[in-house]
Each structure stands twice: as C-alpha cells, then as structure tokens.
Amino acid sequence: MFRVGSRAACIACRSLVSTNMGVRFRIPLQKLHPLSRAIHHRYSGNGNPQRPPHRTAARYFTSMSRLPVRPPKPPPGSGGHSYQQQRNFLVARLAARLLKLRYILLGTAVGGGYTAKKTYEEWKDMLPDFSEYNWVIPDFVWDLSEQIDLDKLAKALPEREELAKLLPDFDKIGENFSFLKNLLSSETSGDSPLRAPGSSASASQDVSDKQYKKTTDKEKIDQLQEELLHTQLKFQRMLERLEKENKELRKVVLQKDDKGIHQRKVKKSLIDLYSEVLDILSDYDANYNTQDHLPRVVVVGDQSAGKTSVLEMIAQARIFPRGSGEMMTRSPVKVTLSEGPHHVAIFKDSGREFDLTKEEDLAALRHEIELRMRKSVKEGQTVSSETISLSVKGPGIQRMVLVDLPGVISTMTAGMALDTKETIFSISKAYMQNPNAIILCIQDGSVDAERSIVTDLVSQMDPQGKRTIFVLTKVDLAEKNLASPSRIQQIVEGKLFPMKALGYFAVVTGKGSSAESIESIKDYEEDFFQNSRLLRDGMLKAHQVTTKNLSLAVSDCFWKMVRESVEQQADVFKASRFNLETEWKNNYPRLRELDRNELYEKAKNEILDEVISLSQVTPQHWEAMLQKRLWERVSTHVIENIYLPAAQTMDSGTFNTTVDIKLKQWTDKQLPNKALEVAWETLQEEFARFIAEYKGKDQDDIFDKLKEAVKDESIKRHKWNERAMDSLRVIQHNALEDRSITDKPQWDAAIQFMEETLQSRLKDTESMIRDMVGPDWKQRWMYWKNRTPEQHIRNETKNELERLLKLHDDHTAYLANDEVTTVRKNLEGRSVEVDPVLIKDTWHQLYRRHFLQKALSHCNLCRRGFYYYQRHFVDSELECNDVVLFWRIQRMLVITANTLRQQLTNTEVRRLEKNVKEVLDDFGEDMEKKTHLITGRRVQLAEDLKKVREIQEKLEAFIEALHKEK
C-alpha cells in the first residue's frame, strides 16, 4: 500500500515516474475509513490544478494507485546517426531503466513500511477511549482481563518480525540487481563484434536481444506486482481480524451497558435523539411543508430498481416485504439506523422488538410492515403519504436516518388508482424539495439508461448535484449484458445522465433470489468486484464499489449535513415559538394552554360526571315521567280501538268481554314494545337535559360538538335488555286483569283520570273540526277571514250530519250506505257537490265529538256510583264499566312505570354509562374524530405551541449532545 506520483522519494523519482500511471492488480475490498472525503463533485475546486478532483481523492484514500506498466517507447528511427551513437543511446536507455526500477523497488519498500505503520496507527485511533466513559463503566470493567483474553488480543498485534515479513524480499531484489548487472556487463564486453558495419546477422541478433530484454523486464515487473498484491492481502486479512476483535470488544461493552449493570441512567444515543425530532415533525406536519428542513436520506428510484435491497444491505437485514416485479413499497418508510449490541428492529408506536438474527422474527417484521402499508392506504388508492417509522439497531451499523419512498413508475397497471403515478411523483418531490435532504438516487444497471425516469426527477430537484449520491445497482448483470463496459464507466463518472451528483457508486445486491441472506449477498458482491474487469481495467475505483463503502459515505454526508443545518433549524423553531406564544397571550390571556388531547380528557371527565348524575334522579321523578309519556303514546289506541268499540255494545257483559279481548291482544303484541320505547326515550331526554344543564355552569362551548356526538353514538349503541320485555308483558297482563277497586279514593282517581282523558280528546277533536270547516261567522266578521271552497263544502256536510245526529242520538259509529246517499242528495239539492269519502271522514270527527260529550256526561253521573259498584250494579240503572276500564288502564300505567323505573336505575343507567365510556375511549383513539369534534383556532394554536416547544427542546438536547460528541 504505497503511493507513487507527486509523493515520490526524490526529484529523480519524479523525473522518472509518470503521475498518471499505476499498477494493475486484483483489488482486495477493505474498509476505507476516511472514505467520505473521496466524494467530491466533478466540478468542485481542487488544490492541484494538474489532476482532476476525483482522481486526487481516489489516490489519497485508496491503495489502488497504479504503477507504470512499461516504460515509454524510445523515439523510432536511426536517421543519420552512427552506429556508436546508437550503441551509446541503447546503454543510456538500459541504465535509465535500471535506475528507474531501483527507485521503484526502494519506493515500494519505504512506502509499504510507512503505509503499514500509518494504517496500524489509524486502527489504534479507532479503539474507543475508555477514559471518557469512566462514569458509565463499573469497576469490574477495568478487570476485563479476567473475562476477556487481552493477551490473545495483544498477541494478534503485529510484531516487528511480522512487519519485516510484510516488506518485499530484498534478497530477491538483490538477485534481480545482479542479473541486470551481468546483463549490462555482457553487453559491454561484446562491443567489437556488434560494431562490424554492414553485418545483417549482427543487426538481427541485436533486435532479438532487445525483444528478449523487454520480455524479461515485463516478467520481473509482473512478479513484483504479484508479490506486492500478496503482501497487501496478508496485511488486509490482519486488519480485518483486528477490526473484528475490536467490534466484539465494543459489543461486550454495549451488552454490559444494556443489561443495566451500572446504576446511572444511560442517555439516548445521538441518532435516537435526532430520530425523535423527525418523528415529532412528521406528526406535527403531515404535509411536510417548508418548515421541516432537517436532513434525512431520501431513497428514490424507479420501481424494482433495487432501492429496498440497497436499504437492506445498509441495515444488514432482509426487513422489507418482497415481490416479483410488483409494487411493494406503498408508503414512505423511515428507517433509523444506529449501533447497538443486538441486531433488532422496533416500530415507533410499538414495544415489540424483532430479533433480526431469527428468520421467524424477520418474517413477522416483513408481515407487519406490509400490514401497516396496506392499512395506511385509503380505499380507492394505491399508495399513501403516511410515514411508517422503524428503528434498526445492530453491531457495526452506520448511524443515519433513511426514508424509503415508493418506486417511480412510468405506466399504471390494472388495479391501480388513476392518480397513482401523480401521487408517487408528489410524495417524492415533497421529500426531495427539502434543501437539506440527501437524495440517494438508485438506478438499475441491468436496464437501458434511457428508460430511467428518476434521474430526470432528481435533476429537477437538485440541478447542481450538491446533495445527490448516485447508486448503480445490479452491476453484475450490467457487466454481463452490456456489449460495451465503458458505458458503466460513463455512468459512474456522471457523463451519461444529465443529472449531477456528489458521488457515484456501483453495488451488487445479490443474485435476485428472495431467499438469499445478507452474508451471502456480501460474499457474492465482494467476489464479483475482486474478479470484475471493471476494476482491473480501471473503469471503477475501489472507493466507488460495495454497499459497505456506500454506507460509510452516506453516513458521513448525512452527519455533515446535520451539523451544518441543525442549529439554523433550531433558530427557526425558536422564532416560531415566540410568535405563537405572543398570539396566545393576546387572544386567550385567562385560559390555560390545553392542546387537543388535554381538552378531550377534560371533556371526557365532564361527560362522565353528567352520566353519573342520572343515578341521582329520584324514583318519583322517573315514574311520573314514564307514566305521562307512556299514556301519551297509548291513549289514542285505548280510546279508538278499545273504549269506543266496546261502548257500542248493548249491555255490560258484552262491554267487558270486548274490553278483555282487546286488552289481551294489546298486551301480547304492542304494549310491552311501546313501554320500552318510552323508557328508552325518557332516558335519552334525561341524559340530554343533564348535559344541557351542565353546559350553563361556566361550560366551555368548545365541547358542545363533542358532547352531542358522544350522546348520539351512545344512544345508538345502547340496546335494551331483551329479557325485560317478557317480564314486562307478564306484569302488564296481570295488572290489566285486576278489576277490583278497593276504596272510594281509587274510584275518584279513576273518575278524574277518565274525565281528564275525555276532555283532552274532546278538545283535540273540536280543534280538528274547526280546521276542517274554517272560521265561523265571528272570525270572518272580526278578523276578515274567509273559508276556502273545500272548507265551505266541509261546513255544509257538517251541518247536514249534525241534523242526522239530532234525529238519532244513539246512532252507531258508522254511517250506512243509504244514509251516505241521503246526505249527498240533500247537499246536491243545495248545489253542493260532495264526495262520499268526504262525508264519511266528516262523520268520523262529528261522531267522536258526540261520543266524547256523552261519555263526559256519563262520567259525571258515575262520580257517586262507587256504592253501586260495590253491589255490582244490582238493582241500579247506572252502569259504570267504563270507569272500571280506565281504572285498569291507570293501574297498568302505574305498575309499568314502576317496573321501568327499577330497570332504568338498576341496569340501564349503568349500561348507558358503560356505553359512554366505550364511545369516549373509541373517540380518544381516533385522532381524525377528535380533530373533527374539537376544533377551532384556540385548539390549533395550543397544538402548535406544544409541538413547537417539544421540537425545540429535542433539537436543543440533540445539539448539545452533538457538540459533546465533537
């Protein structure tokens, strides 16, 4: 591992060695620690104007610099020079070649030894400085010699003898010098025969000697190159072994720390702090507006270009769902990579850890990611902008935050939404337009470059290429399929695409099998590049290949961008916080800053208090409301379908029989249902009444919409106990079967109930008749009102039917057909055309009024009829069976109300309270519902204040930790 060119040992070497030439050999793949410095823009400035920037970087950070393969050819032609001049010139050439080879060998020895020493020092610098962690590591760690074999580690370090073995074999070099010296001396001793002028045999012999010497020199140089390559491979294996032991030691320390052996609390890692800030920003601003300019690595590429495979290689686990040519990434996936003792993955909103070393956990993780993606996609859509947040930790993983985006498509297929292509472009642009986002542009090397879509998109978002890293995937297929490998060189040099990039990389992500492990892919990638002619012929440089080098470069660029921009972003959020706090003080000076979740909790407690208040309603209040509402619901049925038909009978026996039959039918079919409906409506109204009353007590009107929604949803979910109907039917049937009135107060109560009911019905009937016939003469004269033609016909029909009722006071409830005809002909005689249906309808209202008036008169007569009732109306013309009917109805109402009240207070109120709690819990988990129900500028302002404060605090903690790490 030596350098040739501008760093040659002396002035003579510089004159003999070309700075643009190098040695070709098979290249081992090693970790190039300062690799990020090798990423330069093609057009960036450089201190050395005589060397392109990328070549300078490659020479400085890689051991792949090439030595001259052969010396430049001497100028042809012998012209007018003498043979002696030719001979002297040949001797000078050989001497120059010998001197050149000597300095090459000396430079090899010196440079190799210096490079070995420098690499060893760099490895020593990589070891953690345990003195900085004295407060973390317990005392027993200082006795690690008892637990870790430090002697073995010390023995693994190279000794002076081993370093001496790494140097070239100077004995062989001496032999080569002796061989060249003898060759030169033999050439000098044979001058006289070679000087024979005009000898054709001597000329041919001279040409053959030159060819032999050239062949011999080339073989020696190739032999030296092979020795140097073996030396480098040996030293590289030693470095890899030491690096592996170093990683194991770090893993042991992290495991001890992870188990919590020490008593002090371990602070969060730097990348975890930064990831938390990004998660908060993602929740704060789902649309990813220009306020969020914090860096992250955005992975974009055409569909099936290998984006996810590159991400998996960086994360060192096959964590993403895989498909054959179909769209698998349906929403952005934010992956936070960090170092840890165990290789695990965990979602932001879940506590489960997936062990990435176990295949069953990997399968479960892929399934969970697929489920979350499908859940985030709304109905009728193909992709979603909702971000899935995932953290991956493991030994040796580079710290960074990457966002895997859906692949860019050119054509929509069957089953996709019509706006899928535009949605993917919109999501990609939203992430890439962040001026501090690093764009990882993935290009499929196995397809024609002209088919790429993503390169045009990236060049639009980053035309100068200051934050773009280009990655060419499937290079193995590209080398196999392309007729001209130089096309790959054009791609990685940025000469084929119009886009510019900060750096160019070529990677291999496996053979295309979903069953491949990460280790097998790494081995395949390393074997491919070691044997690839792309590296042997200098088309690709060592720092441009393998996902390991890519990971190192991206991580360094990411942290560089973070350090440059994070403090500026913190200042932006500090100014935003000041503006929001000023607005709150001016508009809501007497209110606390409660965000949406805090307001929801406050409203939840108030609603639950209101539900509990239902249990404080007195039994008398419940029964009075239930009895009143139930009678309002069933009174029409009792009058029209039970009392009125039974009253048409001729004797009391038939009356009672008709009543019993109709009450039995009513109890079996309708009455229990009506009673439960009334009870449920009463409970709803009381619940609404308590909410309305509570609202007046300095209640915040911002909760009105939420309370109404909770009330409606709770009532909708509440269902009355089905078994209550059967028991209620039995109770009501038994109550209606009882005809015994035990005392005069009960009789008087029944009379009063009957009278109030009949008067109410009579009042309603008279109101309906007035509406039918229109204003009377008094209203027409005093209020200038007129009847409509229909009302005039109704009035004439009413007058005719009233005359009929006066003639037949005991008329039945229905008109006979001949009576309808008579009324119609009488009206036609007065030039009033009337329809038979109108006659019957008018008769129904008139007869009801006539019947109610007679029933009221009979009710007054029965006030003193309790004595006759006790004697079963024997020897009495007065019969008060209708009073007994109303007493039975009244008693049924009282018993039903009492039964419903017990069911309400003992069961249904508690069930309603339970339903309200469930509704509140469901609403609390539905952020969209809460946003819809608790809204307004005050809420939004409090939300923004909370988020901005949290973001600022997290950013300040991150910046403090970042400065400490520096």
What is the model's pLDDT at position 185?
Answer: 52
Return d(Cα 677, Cα 666) in angstroms, integer: 15
**Residues with Cβ within 8 Å of residue 605, at least 6 apart in sequence:** none
**Residues with Cβ within 8 Å of residue 690, at least 6 apart in sequence:** 610, 611, 613, 614
Tokens coding 957: 């903690």
Report whether 865 contacts 878 (CB < 8 A).
yes
What is the model's pLDDT at position 890?
Answer: 92
Quote the distance between the C-alpha of residue 954 and its chain's center: 21
pLDDT tens for 569-608 read 888 888 888 999 999 999 988 888 888 888 899 888 888 8
**Residues with Cβ within 8 Å of residue 357, at least 6 apart in sequence:** 343
Return d(Cα 219, Cα 211) in angstroms, integer: 12
What is the model's pLDDT at position 924?
Answer: 87
What is the model's pLDDT at position 527?
Answer: 86
Q: Are strands 354-355 and 344-347 parallel, antiparallel or unpaired?
A: antiparallel
Report whether 882 contacts 647 (CB < 8 A).
yes
The list of the chain residues with pLDDT below 70 reads 1-92, 94-103, 105-107, 109-110, 120, 123-215, 217-218, 222, 225-226, 228-230, 232-237, 239-241, 243-268, 282-292, 323-326, 449, 482-485, 694-699, 873-877, 966
Long-range interactions of 341-345: CB distance < 8 A, separation 24+: 341/251, 341/254, 341/255, 341/257, 341/258, 341/395, 342/255, 342/258, 342/393, 342/394, 343/316, 343/317, 343/393, 343/394, 343/395, 344/392, 344/393, 344/394, 345/317, 345/319, 345/390, 345/391, 345/392, 345/393
What count of other Cβ atoms lies within 10 Å of the Cβ of residue 334?
19
CA distances from 8 to 14, 54, 366 (A): 6, 20, 54
Report whether 476 contacts 528 (CB < 8 A).
yes
Q: What angle do CA 92, 94, 96 make, to 5 degrees?
A: 70
- 3-state SS class at 402: strand
What is the model's pLDDT at position 626?
Answer: 92
Tokens coding 480: 């196999």
What is the model's pLDDT at position 340?
Answer: 82
C-alpha dihedral (445, 449, 451, 454), degrees to nearest 10: 80
Report whether 912 contacts 903 (CB < 8 A).
no
What is the model's pLDDT at position 182?
Answer: 59
DSSP of 567-636, one letter per residue? HHHHHHHHHHHHHHHHHHHHH-TTS----HHHHHHHHHHHHHHHHHGGGGS-HHHHHHHHHHHHHHHHHH
Tokens coding 28: 């081992």
Q: Is 785 left (phi over 0), alpha (psi -120 to 50) or beta?
A: beta
What is the model's pLDDT at position 399?
Answer: 86
Return d(Cα 467, Cα 297) in angstroms, integer: 10
What count of other Cβ atoms lies within 10 Å of the Cβ of residue 54?
22
What is the model's pLDDT at position 57?
Answer: 34
What is the model's pLDDT at position 98?
Answer: 63
What is the model's pLDDT at position 6?
Answer: 38
Tokens coding 884: 């007994």
What is the model's pLDDT at position 189?
Answer: 43
Taking the model in full, what pTM does it have? Answer: 0.52
pLDDT tens for 473-531 read 888 888 877 656 677 888 888 787 777 888 899 898 887 777 788 888 888 888 888 88
What's the count of helices (H) and strands (E) in the chain, helices before strands?
35, 9
- Residue of 119, 79, 99 lying closest to 12 (CA atoms): 99
Q: Are strands 503-506 and 438-444 parallel, antiparallel or unpaired?
A: unpaired
Report whether 669 contacts 725 (CB < 8 A).
no
